[in-house]
Amino acid sequence: MEVFEKIKREIKQDYYQQNFSNNGQRFIAWYLRNIHLRDQNQTKYDITDGKDDKQIDAIVIDDENSTVYTIQGKFIGAPNVDAEPLREVLSSWMQLKDLVKLQEGANEKLKCRLTDLSTALEDDYAIIFELLTTAGLTEGAKGDLKIFQEQIAQDEKLSATFDLVDNDELGRRYELALEREVPSINYSFTLEAGKYLLMEIAGTKAVVTAIPLRDCIKLPGIRDGSLFRKNVRQFMGLNNRVNKALKNTIFSDKQKDFFFYHNGITAICDKMELNNNVLSLKGLSIVNGCQSLNTILACSEKVKELEDTFILANFNLKRNA
């Protein structure tokens, strides 16, 4: 509710009041300005909300990271929201499979944005559906999220990521955006006894460990890419050949062999401490593993159920730290 009240205050500013007709649009505009860091003109162009918006409130095309964000927002003061917004996202995904038909019935703003989206998809941009809400999901809606997320991730024609950006995630993304210039990610893992090794190589600390797949989705900075600033490549989408294979393993009966199929992820950090099986990392950055972690996150509801499924991780202290 704290995030809701903050946004409600900020969208009273002249820019939001003069350019957008209702608080739903102003909420989306606030998100684009503060989280996606779109300028005022880009934000107006990105927003497609209105009559015949086909359950698509905004489309953001991030050329730097080769990603398309299709956004649906629900600005409400209630503590929880049911599955209806999830079904709206699912509807927009299904309609995007036939861009010709979708464009025929879309409003003028959406028609223009669909042209840009089509070009991006031709260039193999990843597509992420973001459901924004200032509430949390009811228990029933959480079950639907799992089903919809799996359906979207496994589709052969238009495989995509379905992200829930709820009240807590909105707050976290906003705090991160405030320090976007010098982002620092701090995180702690509880390592399983017998599944890690602390060593020193050329005077530098390193920890090699097997991490449960379900712990990977808790890592901050995957959704917005801040964890991968030093990664060689940004996320290439679920239709990428390697990512598709990773996804298929997660949903197959060979889930527990994931550790043996995968080369692992590599991270660096500014400071590292290991005490009583708890590994504390400051200034964490993934330098190899962007594709894997994004794919795992795209399958998060399935991953949460996995037992005895691990990935190899190598954490290294920066040489100059």
pLDDT, one tens digit per residue, over 71-112 is 999 998 888 889 899 999 999 999 999 999 999 999 999 999
Look up residue 241 and give its amino acid: R
- Note whether 155 and 218 are same-domain residues: no
182: in domain: no
Residue 93 inside a domain? The answer is yes
pLDDT band at residue 157 under the 50/70/90 scheme: confident
**Residues 96 and 165 grouped into a single domain:** yes
* Residue 211 burial class via C-beta count within 10 angstroms: exposed 0-12, middle 13-18, buried 19 and up: buried
Domain that holds residue 212: 187-317
Listed in sequence order, the residues at least 6 apart from 104 whose beta carbon sits closer than 8 Å to its beta carbon are none
**Average of per-residue pLDDT across 147-163:** 89
Number of domains in the chain: 2
Q: Could you tell me if residue 16 is inside a domain?
A: yes
pLDDT tens per residue across span 162-211? 999 998 899 888 887 776 654 578 999 899 999 999 999 888 899 999 99
In terms of Cα–Cα distance, which of 186, 211, 176 is closest to 273? 186
Indicate the helix (H) or strand (E) that contains 73.
strand 67-74
For residue 234, is it within any domain? yes
Residues 81 and 224 in one domain: no
What pLDDT score does 195 carry? 95
Evaluate whether residue 160 is within a structural domain: yes
Q: Do 124 and 233 contact (CB within 8 A), yes or no?
A: no
Average pLDDT over residues 51-56: 93
Average pLDDT (33-62) is: 92
Say what the pLDDT of residue 183 is: 55
Q: Please provide the average confidence, as pLDDT, over all residues in the chain.
A: 89
Read off the pTM.
0.65
pLDDT in tens, 180-189: 654 578 999 8
The yes-or-no verdict on residue 321 having pLDDT over 50 is no
